[in-house]
Amino acid sequence: MIRLLYFAWVRAQIGLDEERQTPPKSPLTVSEMLDWLPTLGKGHAAALEQRARLRVAVNQEFAEPDTLIHAGDEVAVFPPVTGG
C-alpha cells in the first residue's frame, strides 16, 4: 500500500487530498503509477489528462519517471509550483 497525496487542481479533480492504495505491482515506477492512477475513477482520469504538467515526489523528494515506488512510500502528485 502507498500513501498518495494530491495538491491544487489535482486534488480538486480527484476530490481527495490523500488516499491509500495498493498498486497492481510493487515496486513500480512513477511512470507506471501515472499510467495506473486514471484507472481508479473519473476524477483520477480527469486529473491525469494533463500528465505532462504534473510533478511527483516520492518520500518528499522530487522524482523522475523511472523512480521506483515501494510499498509504504508516500507519493505526492501536484502541478508545478511558482513563487515570488
Q: Confirm if 24 and 65 have CB atoms less than 8 A apart.
A: no
- Measured from the Cβ of residue 63, the count of other Cβ atoms closer than 10 Å reads 20
C-alpha cell at 35: 499510467
User: What percent of the chain has pLDDT above 70?
Assistant: 96
| Domains along the sequence of the chain with CATH | 2-78 (3.10.20.30)
pLDDT in tens, 6-32: 999 999 999 999 999 999 999 999 999
Please report which confidence band the pLDDT of residue 50 belongs to, taking 50, 70 and 90 as the band edges: confident
- Quick one: which H or E segment has residue 69? strand 68-69
